[in-house]
Amino acid sequence: MSAAPALTARARGPRRTRGSDRRRGKMPAWAWWTVCSLIAVMFLLPLIALLVTVFKTPEAATASPPSYLPDAVSTENFSALTDSREGLWRYVANTFLVSCGTVLLTVTVATLAGYGFARFRFPMREPLFGTVLLCMMIPFQAILTPLYMVLRFLHLQNSLIGLIFVYATFQLPISVFLMRNSFEQIPKALPESAQIDGCSSLSALWRVLLPVVRPGAVSVALFAFFSAWNEFLAALVLLSDEAKFTLPIFLTALASGQLGTINWGVLEAGVLVTMIPCGVIFLILQRYYVRGLVAGSVK
């Protein structure tokens, strides 16, 4: 009878030792939070520097060597930003129009294409999808001149509509990829049940599948909006009318001073205005963002 407890204790001993070794191998809580805090500070420092520069006087913002803290809080940079020739809000409206148009066109086309690639079998389906993905490897700068000539032939050069088509075109490869993954993770029984109940393919897509793939669609919309909102080069090349400029071009023209100097206070104020919509939209929709990115990663 005495041998059984001894054997039991001997058997339990190694398990407790292995468990304690695993616990000792983990990072302590204080070390984890220290590392996370240092990473957070690293990301927040540029934002803090931006805020400090925004509320300096124009002279202090361009002083050399720069001062780390403002001598006095000033809103002159915001005044210079809003009192520009055409007004700040015209360029904000142009950028918002282009961004929303890009989102609408990208989400619509990517949803239909992703649904087709995921649910229908047709000749050359995989090679065609591979060709779509290969388009992501083409740098935008390499086809800027031919793109300008095409838009000029279509009378869409110097047009916000033409800019929307350009932005949507370059967002479609990654968007189609995300939407195809989102549709492929849905069980086939779901659209088949909708069709048995009398839904057509498009009706099943609209009524049944779209609510399920909402995280993927939101991720596509976020990518498209942020890309169009912050894009600079295409708008600089394709737009020649100052009244149609987007916000990044307006800020570049406004911040340039005499002899190539840069008005850092006005530029940072414009950057802050540009950041606010992106930050608000991301915070509202962030719960869909990660779910949309990992859609289809595990089957």
Query: Are 250 and 29 in contact, with CB atoms under 8 Å apart?
Result: no
Over range 103-114, report the average pLDDT. Answer: 94
- CA pair distance 250, 232, nearest whole angstrom: 10
C-alpha separations of 47 from 70, 75, 145, 283 in Å: 15, 18, 36, 17
Confidence of residue 24 (pLDDT cuts 50, 70, 90): very low
Given a cut of 80, whether residue 247 has pLDDT beyond it is yes
* CA separation for the pair 107, 121 (Å, rounded): 22
Of the candidate ranges 144-153, 201-210, 241-250, the one whose mean pLDDT is the lowest: 201-210
Q: Mind listing the pLDDT tens digit for each residue in 264-275? A: 788 888 888 888
* Contact residues for 54 (Cβ-Cβ < 8 A; gap 6+): 77, 78, 265, 268, 269, 272
Both tokens of 42, joined, read: 């690293």
- Residue 1 burial class via C-beta count within 10 angstroms: exposed 0-12, middle 13-18, buried 19 and up: exposed
State residue 84's pLDDT score: 63
Q: Which residue do the tokens 């599948």 mark?
A: 209
Mean pLDDT of 143-161: 90
Q: Which residue has the higher pLDDT, 124 or 254?
A: 124
* Alpha-carbon gap, residue 81 to 61, rounded angstroms: 14
Residue 162: closest CA among 109, 237, 111: 237
Q: Over 90: is that where the pLDDT of 111 sits? A: yes
* Upper half-sphere CA count for residue 235 (Cβ side, 13 Å): 25
Burial label for 196, CB within 10 Å (0-12, 13-18, 19+), is exposed
pLDDT for the residue numbered 21: 45
pTM score of the predicted model: 0.79
Q: Is the pLDDT of residue 162 over 50?
A: yes
Summarised one tens digit per residue, pLDDT across range 179-200 is 998 888 888 888 878 878 778 8
Q: Is 262 helix (H, G, I), strand (E, B) or coil?
A: strand
Yes or no: say if 272 and 50 are a contact pair by the CB < 8 Å rule. yes
Q: Residue range 83-108: average pLDDT?
A: 87
Residue 298 has pLDDT above 60, yes or no: no
Domains of the chain: 31-74 (no CATH), 80-293 (1.10.3720.10)
For position 176, what pLDDT does the model report? 93
pLDDT at 1 over 50: no
CA 170, 252, 72: angle at the middle one, nearest 5? 130
Are residues 233 and 145 in contact, defined by beta-carbon separation less than 8 angstroms? no
On average, the pLDDT of the chain sits at: 81
pLDDT at res. 80: 77
Residue 233: Cβ within 10 Å count: 12
Given this model, what pLDDT does residue 291 score? 63
Task: Compute the average pLDDT of residues 82-87.
Answer: 66
Average pLDDT of the residues in 28-51: 89
Is the pLDDT at 104 greater than 80? The verdict is yes
